[in-house]
Structures are given as C-alpha cells and as structure tokens.
Amino acid sequence: MSHPPDNPGAGPGALEAGRSTWNLPDPAYDLVVAGAGHAGIEAALAGARLGLRTLLVSMSLQTIGQMSCNPAIGGVGKGQLVREIDALGGEMGRLADRAGLQFRMLNRSKGPAVWSPRAQSDKFRYAQLATQTLSDQPGLDLRQGLVTDLVLQQDRVVAVELAGGVRIRAGAVIVCAGTFLNGLLHVGASRSPGGRAGEPPALGLSEALARQGIEVRRYKTGTPPRVDRASIRFDAFDEQWGDAKPAPFRFYEDLISLPQQCCYATWTTPRTHEILSENLHRSPLFTGRIEGTGPRYCPSVEDKVVRFAEKDRHQLFLEPESLAGREMYVNGFSTSMPEDVQLAALRSVPGFEQARFTRPGYAIEYDYFPAWQMDVTLRMRGLANLFFAGQQNGTSGYEEASAQGLLAALNAAALLDHRDPVILGRDQAYIGVLLDDLVNKPLPEPYRMFTSRAEFRLLLRQDNADQRLMPLGHRLGLLEQWRWERFQVRQETRTRLLDWLAQTAINGRALLSQEPEPQVPQAHDNQRVEPNPAVDVPASTTQRATEWLKRPELTLHMLLQAAPEPWFTELDDDLITSVEVDIKYAGYVERQRRAVESFRRNEQVPLPEELDYKSLASLSTEARERLSLVRPRNLGQASRVGGVNPTDIQALWVHLQRRPQESPSSTTEDAVTPSD
C-alpha cells in the first residue's frame, strides 16, 4: 500500500462492530449511494425508481456526471453495454442521446454482431442533464458531503458517516467512488492529491474499509491535454463526420437534438516522438514514480513511442468537448509528461503549432478494491448490505461503471425487498459477462469490455438488447410502462415479419431489377463490400424470402422493397437488423444456442454457500485458495475462477455427488455432468 502515512481525512475509527450509542438526527434512507459519477447516477436513479428512499451523497453537487476523460459514450463493446442499460430501464442511453454531438456505428464494415454505437458528448450538457434528472426524480435526495466511514452492526452497515461526523442511517449502501479514493495526480515530477484535475481526493473511506480486512490496491490511468479550439489550425486535419443518420442508444425514442459536430484526425510526427523520447527521464511513468498498473489498451503517448519504437507516427483525434466551451480533447495523446514537454510534443504536430492548453494531460493513481472480494451482485463478502460499483472495482470506462451501478442498485433493492438477487448470465448480456469476469478473474489491468470477452457474441448484439433484457427490466419494475407496451407491439411486428419472410415467394427478377441499395454514407464505412445482387442470382428463380435472405449479397431491405406491404412502415432499423442477422447467421446462431445450453448445465449445479473449500484435499492448492475467496455460486462460475482447472471442477462435482442429500435441490437425479 502506498497511502500517504498522514491521512487528514481518516476520521475516528467508527467502523467498529456493535457500537450502539449513536443518535441520528437525520432521516433514514433505504439506500445511500456514495458518489455521483456514472455508476452513482445509475444506482441512485434505479434505487429511487424501484421505490427505495434513496440518498445520493457527492463531494460536490456541482460536479455530478462529469466526463473526466474522453467526451464520448459507447464504443466497441461499450455501446452494447449502454443499449443494455437502456433496455433494463437505466438512464445512460437517454443522457448520451440528449447530449450527443456526433453519432457513429463503429465496426459497420465488420458484421452486425460487432456493430457498436458510439457518440461524442457535450460534457457540460451531459452533466447538466444528469443533475436535472436526479433532481427531478421523486424519492431521491441529493446531499453534498464526503463519506469517510461506515457504521457497522455485526455484518451490516447501518449508517454512513460524513466528514464532520454526521451520520446517515441506511438500509443498504453502494459505494461509487470512481478514481477519488486516495487519488494522486501526476504531471511530470509534480504530484498532488486529487480525485480529478481541480478536485480533492476522497480520503478516509479506503482506510476504514481496509480496517475491515477489505483488500485495497492501486491502479493508474491517464488523460490527454485539452486544447483551446481558437489556437488550432483545423485545415491541417482531416474532417471526421458522424453517421448521416445517427442511431440513438435509446430504444424506441429518438432524443438526439443537438447540432451535430465534426471531429478531426491527424498524426504525430517523428519530431513528436523525438521530443517525447528525449524527455523520458522526466516522465513519472518511466522514473517509477507511478506504482499503479495502467491499462495496456489505453497507453500514454510516451508509452506508445517506447513500446512501438518502429512506428513513426500515431493517430490523433480531436474531439469537441462541448458546444459552449472552446476545449478540444486530443484523443491518442494521453500523457503525464511535464507540461512543457507535452506542449512541445503536441506543437510538433502540424495544425497544433500555436496550440494552447486549457488543461494539461495527467496520470492519476487511485485505490481500487479487487472485485474477487465481492459476489456477482457486487456485494462485498462478509458484509450483508454493502455494495461496490464503478471504477473503484478495477474497471475503466463510463459504460462499465454505469452497468455496475445499475446492477448494484437492482441487487440492493432485491436484498431490501427479500427477493432473489438479479444476476445476468454470460449468455444473456454483456453486463453479465462484465460482472462474471470481474468477480472471477484475476485482472492484470483495469478491466474494459471487449466484444471478444463475450463467448456468445453472435447472440449478444446491440440491435437485440431490448429483446434480451426488456422483459427483465419490466419484471423488476424499472422499465417505463410505455416502452414495455411498445416492446410487446414490436414483438408482434417481429413475428409478423418472420412469418412474411417464411411465406412470401419472391422472384429473382424483382430483386435484380433493383438498383443496389443506396448506401447511406456512413462514417468508418470504407471497407464494406458493396452488395451486388446481380452476382449469381438466377433471375428466374422464385423462392421464399427467407431463402433469399440467406444469400450474403442480399439484404432484408432489398426484399422488403421487392414486395412492399403497407405495414412495413412499422419496422424500425433495430428490428430489421435483428431479424436479418438472426436469419443470415442462422446456422451459427443455432450453434451458439446449443453452446449456451451446455454452458447452462454447469451453471445450474449450485455450490453450497457454506462449502469449505480449504478442507477439500482433492482440489489443487491454488483452486482451494481461489475458490475460498471467490465462493462461486455454481459449478459453471467455479470453472471460470482463475487458477481453477478442469480437474478441480471434476473433483468438486464428485464431491457434490457424495454429499449427504441435505438439500432438496440436489442435482444427483439429473445426472448433470460437468461439460469440461
């Protein structure tokens, strides 16, 4: 641990079990959420919307919903998370649409299974809309303050303590501290405590939790400088526009309204690399001043120059941060070099000769709590009602944080209402993959979502998140009623479309006579092979639309045009994509569904909560240790715990078979065998 030894924020050690002599003037809340970043916003809104009396505590009520790093929501793997959050009834998609300055469907050339929506955001608008939404939410109170401690009775948190000593009673607590816990900012050799540039760190809470035996570690991340728009020569750059027809994150409602903005692309120069290389001795990364581990997928520019010395240029993107301000975000130029080096290096890039920083780039080290200490509902083990969500769990990204905030709140509500926990499977949602990975795997770096983390990727698509998750959102009571009704109507339309495809015979001539589909010019879309219906289609053939659709070169749009029906106006893009992909990918989709079945077999073999892994001599030493820590819920989860191998799973399974038949849910009868 590299915490400063003198810690002014560490209050009196209130984390003492069994203390009962305190009086609370404040009203009690069902749920207290500490932190108003992306995880906290989602957690607080979901809590209140599910009927919990909820309090959101933030160090500053002026900085709710900040975009501390890039002014964008979504991206590959992340856009899917946003759509899932939306389908469950969460807020992020709605905020991102309303604050969106430029929308792109990434990966459009690579197949719908990996299409990923991303939007540039107006960071001021985003924060303002978030503040507004929280303020308008009935059942939700906001309070400025720094949570420094938790008050425990036995294994329950009964109150949070704010700096200054005020205590607020809570039925459940969700900690969403982001990068603020013992945050330390680095710019060159200069080091200053801070949770984000210009804001103080949160001190006290880490130590209080560590006293409870919760393990705390350090990660680091970084951000690029922001540059004054007025100091940039834009004609040196390539313009990058968004999709002509922006696709919203939110299902069934288009709230995109801001004027769409341009981004810019350019490259670093050999001179840039020289300047950086010559000054490595001044970089806190290379001089060992930064001890935390950073993400390999988000290296600083000095890191890129060192690790990929053979590349003579790296791409940079310039992104607007807001409509109101002049700041531009220099994507690709994350750095913690001294400010003079940052500036000299950036000015070596044509177009930036006169660049003026509005803020320099910096690196930040912060505390995180390895998530293997939590169960898959993000509840801290050994504490009945304390949840953790967001970056302080060892993730990175607004979307990953939001998803955790939402799930933590759903589970806090389930806990308080004595309902079953809400657990999404890896076969159901990226959110399920996220939480499952987080609590099971040892993470070598801050965790970010990739589509390749989802083994059932062909099933988990951005276009069908509503079908996958809205029924759950509705059942939990989070999804708005009108959207649920809309969902049901759409499902009928979907069935109607499938029937139509299965029954309608179309002659090849009707398809041939069509011009190739006018492709809406889409950004990023320079690789897509132009569909050419003339190839290989025997004109005289008449066959069912479903059969035509299986041909790679034909699209559902073309079939719909070949035999138009009035009700086609009810079809929207997501619906068309999801039906088209399900049919085109049918063989693969079917194979993944079968794989899901076999995956579920192990997921359905429960592992008793009280199982004493340490006494299971048939397990390898490492498996005993890891399983005791993680305490998986079922055999499937156990198989994904790092350090556990198939022999261990076999041994566990054998052990389960031999246990006395104490639980009625014993699986012996089903003869469920482990699939690995």
Partner 1 sequence: MLSEARDTIVALSTPPGVGAVAIVRLSGPRALSLAQSRLEPRGADGTVLLHGRAQVRWLIRADGRRLDQALILAFHAPNSYTGEDVVEFHLHGSPWLVEELLADLRQEAVVAEPGEFTRRAVERGRLNLSQAEGVRALVEARSGLAHNLALRSLSGESGRRVQDLLQDLLDLLSLVEAELDFSEHEIEPTPVAELLSRAASALQRLESWRASWRLGRLSHGAQVVLVGEPNAGKSTLMNALLEDSRVLVDEEPGTTRDAIAQELRLGDLSITLWDTAGLRDTEGRVERQGVARTRELVEMADVILLLRAPNQPGIPELAQQESCLPVLSKADLVGAVADLRPGELAVSALSGVGLPELKAALHQRLVAEDWRSLDLVLTEARHVQLVDVATQCLRRFSAALEAELDRPLSAADLREAAEAVGAIVGGADFDDLYHLIFSRFCVGK
Name the minimum Å distance from CB 329 to partner 1. Answer: 10
Q: Smaller CB distance to partner 1: residue 53 or 314?
A: 314
Residue from 111, 193, 246, 421 binding partner 1 (CB under 8 A): 111
Residue 106 contacts partner 1 per CB under 8 A: yes
Q: Do residues 602 and 613 make contact, with C-beta atoms less than 8 angstroms apart?
A: no
Name the minimum Å distance from CB 484 to partner 1. Answer: 30
For 200, how many CA atoms within 13 A lie in the half-sphere containing its CB?
A: 10
Give CA separation, 500 vs 486, 540, 566, 575, in Å: 21, 21, 13, 14
Residue 126 contacts partner 1 per CB under 8 A: no
Q: Smaller CB distance to partner 1: residue 111 or 508?
A: 111
Residue from 211, 233, 271, 296 binding partner 1 (CB under 8 A): 296
Task: Please state at what angle helix 123-136 crosses helix 38-49, rounded to 10 degrees.
Answer: 20
State how far the Cα of 556 lies from the Cα of 517, in Å rounded to an integer. 10
Residue 74 contacts partner 1 per CB under 8 A: no
Name the minimum Å distance from CB 71 to partner 1. Answer: 12
Residue 527 contacts partner 1 per CB under 8 A: yes
Give the SS3 label for residue 508.
helix
State how far the Cα of 546 lies from the Cα of 586, in Å rounded to an integer. 11
Name the minimum Å distance from CB 608 to partner 1. Answer: 13
Burial 507-530 (b: 16+ CB within 10 A, else e): bbebbeeeeeeeeeebbbeeeeee
Residue 593 contacts partner 1 per CB under 8 A: no
Residue 619 contacts partner 1 per CB under 8 A: yes
Q: Do residues 653 and 675 make contact, with C-beta atoms less than 8 angstroms apart?
A: no
Residue from 98, 167, 196, 457 binding partner 1 (CB under 8 A): 457
Amino acid (one-letter) located at 26: D
Residue 114 contacts partner 1 per CB under 8 A: yes
Q: Smaller CB distance to partner 1: residue 544 or 551?
A: 551
Q: Smaller CB distance to partner 1: residue 230 or 535?
A: 535
Residue 76 contacts partner 1 per CB under 8 A: yes
Counting residues that bind partner 1 (by CB under 8 A) gives 56
Q: Smaller CB distance to partner 1: residue 172 or 458?
A: 458
Name the minimum Å distance from CB 342 to partner 1. Answer: 16
Residue 651 contacts partner 1 per CB under 8 A: yes
Q: Do residues 365 and 219 make contact, with C-beta atoms less than 8 angstroms apart?
A: yes
Residue 211 contacts partner 1 per CB under 8 A: no
- Phi, psi (rounded to 5 degrees) for 438: -60, -45
Six token digits for residue 411: 């589970």
145: alpha, beta or left? (left if phi > 0; alpha if psi -120 to 50):
left
Burial 24-59 (b: 16+ CB within 10 A, else e): eeeeebbbbbbbbbbbbbbbbbbbbbbebbbbbbbb
Residue from 68, 102, 107, 272 binding partner 1 (CB under 8 A): 107
Residue from 65, 100, 194, 295 binding partner 1 (CB under 8 A): 295
Amino acid (one-letter) located at 391: Q
Stretch that binds partner 1, among 167-175, 339-347, 348-356, 643-651 (CB under 8 A): 643-651
Residue spans of beta strands (DSSP E) within 497-560: 505-507, 542-544
Residue from 126, 252, 317, 369 binding partner 1 (CB under 8 A): 317
Burial-class residue 259 by CB neighbours within 10 Å (0-12, 13-18, 19+). exposed
Residue 70 contacts partner 1 per CB under 8 A: yes
Q: Smaller CB distance to partner 1: residue 620 or 667?
A: 620
State how far the Cα of 301 lies from the Cα of 284, in Å rounded to an integer. 13
Binding residues for partner 1, per CB under 8 A?
70, 76-77, 106-107, 110-114, 265, 295-299, 304, 307-308, 311, 314-315, 317, 331-332, 334, 441, 450-452, 455, 457-458, 524, 527, 529, 552, 585, 588, 591-592, 612, 615-620, 645-647, 651, 654-655, 658, 676
